[in-house]
Amino acid sequence: MQRRAFKMQLHPGQIAEYKRRHDLLWPELSDLLKSAGISDYSIFLDEDTLTLFGVLKTTNPAALDALPAAEVMQRWWAYMADIMDTHPTNEPVSIPLQEVFHLD
């Protein structure tokens, strides 16, 4: 099992909408993430900076590379593009974070 962490940026005034959309996460997106070996996935928010911090566990890190090509992932990114920083492809600007400490 490998842990991955990353940060993204939410647009001002979009906290409630971001939470609402994730509370209604599409079942087909959830299935895709699980089929890629993702589990224990959380996203945290720093309300002062609107920085989103994601952390997940994966049993298959190589499978993460295939996620951007999935149709449901493309639709989700398009759905979220109006409330967070994205690339021209609608993919969220996601900056990997280096693990510097872990305690089991």
Domains of the chain (ranges, CATH numbers): 2-96 (3.30.70.100)
Per-residue pLDDT of the chain (104 residues; tens, 9 = 90+): 899 999 999 999 999 999 999 999 999 999 999 999 999 999 999 999 999 999 999 999 999 999 999 999 999 999 999 999 999 999 999 999 999 999 98
What are the distances in angstroms from CA 59 to CA 11, 18, 39, 71, 88? 32, 27, 8, 22, 30
The question of whether 102 is a catalytic residue gets the answer no
Catalytic residue among 11, 22, 87, 102: 22
The pTM for the full model equals 0.93
